[in-house]
Amino acid sequence: MPNAPLKDRLRTLLQAGRLEEIADLATVRKRVLGSLVALTFDPDPQVGWRAIEAQGMSAERLAPSNPGYVKEHMRRLYWLITEESGGVFWRAPECMAECCARLPELLQSHIRIAFHLLETLEEEDLEHFRPGALWAIARLVDLARQDLPGVLPLVVEALDRPDPQARGMAAWCLGRVGETEILARREDLPVDSGPVQLYRNRALEETTVGRLTREILAESDQRV
């Protein structure tokens, strides 16, 4: 594997869940960050999600020796969201949020950008970006809680979107930000059979809006 092309080597490590090795590799091969962006498009969605997590870990490991390169990577991620990029990178919100969560001081200016994507993106793009933008809010809320009142109505609004992934990520986001009372008032969500993919513990789970909502409400009841 050491002599394999970088992208193939990274994919093998992602499949095996060996993300720490990827972060170590990033300290000697900066191109790891860009290659991980490409791997978020992998046909295996679990590989794609692990590529997102590995990006954050790699940026964190690389930042002490090359903070400028990490900042440039973040600027490129945001550029890939915009129309000016010539092509849309739908996983950019998750990648930005993961890097920001691990490097909040270095990437302070990017935290608000990722946290407010639901407000700033054009409506025609939100159909694709909305689930990722919701995930980003959940990932960054501890760093931007002061901004939560401004985006919370848009999170709640996403509970009624036709895309079940958006509904599921809205429920997940509300659970993560501590607004479970909103979910408790919705009789439709616990029985919503719409399919949802949720990445956690380095594995991609297949669930439903209803099952996820019930889990979030049960966890909230246990904390009371």
CB-count exposure of residue 107 (10 Å: 0-12, 13-18, 19+) = buried
For residue 123, what pLDDT is reported? 83
Q: Return the closest-CA partner of residue 134 out of 103, 108, 164.
A: 164
Per-residue pLDDT in tens (0 to 9) along the chain, 224 residues: 555 799 999 999 999 999 999 999 999 999 999 999 999 999 999 999 999 999 999 999 999 999 999 999 999 999 888 766 545 788 999 999 999 999 999 999 999 999 999 999 888 888 889 999 999 999 999 999 999 999 999 999 999 999 999 999 999 999 999 999 999 999 999 999 999 999 999 999 999 999 999 999 999 887 75
Count of beta carbons in the 10 Å neighbourhood of residue 73 = 23
Residue 45 lies in a domain: yes
- Biggest CA–CA distance in the chain, Å, is 56
Is residue 126 a part of any domain in this protein?
no
pTM: 0.94
> Is 131 within the bounds of a domain?
no
Distance of CA 4 to the CA centre of its chain: 29
CA nearest to 49, candidates 94, 102, 84, 13: 94
Q: Is residue 99 part of a domain?
A: yes
Residue span of the structural domain in which 9 resides: 1-115
One-letter amino acid identity for 108? Q
Q: In Å, how far are 50, 54, 142 from 202, measured between CA atoms?
A: 6, 10, 21
Domains in the chain, number: 1
Report the alpha-carbon distance of residue 40 to residue 92 in Å, rounded: 9
**Does residue 200 sit within a domain?**
no
pLDDT at 84: 60
pLDDT at 124: 80
Residue 215 falls inside a structural domain: no
CB contact at 8 A, 141 and 97:
no
In a domain, 168, yes or no: no
Contact 139, 97 (CB under 8 A): yes
**CA–CA distance, 116 with 204 (Å, rounded to integer):** 25
The reply to whether 35 falls in a domain is yes
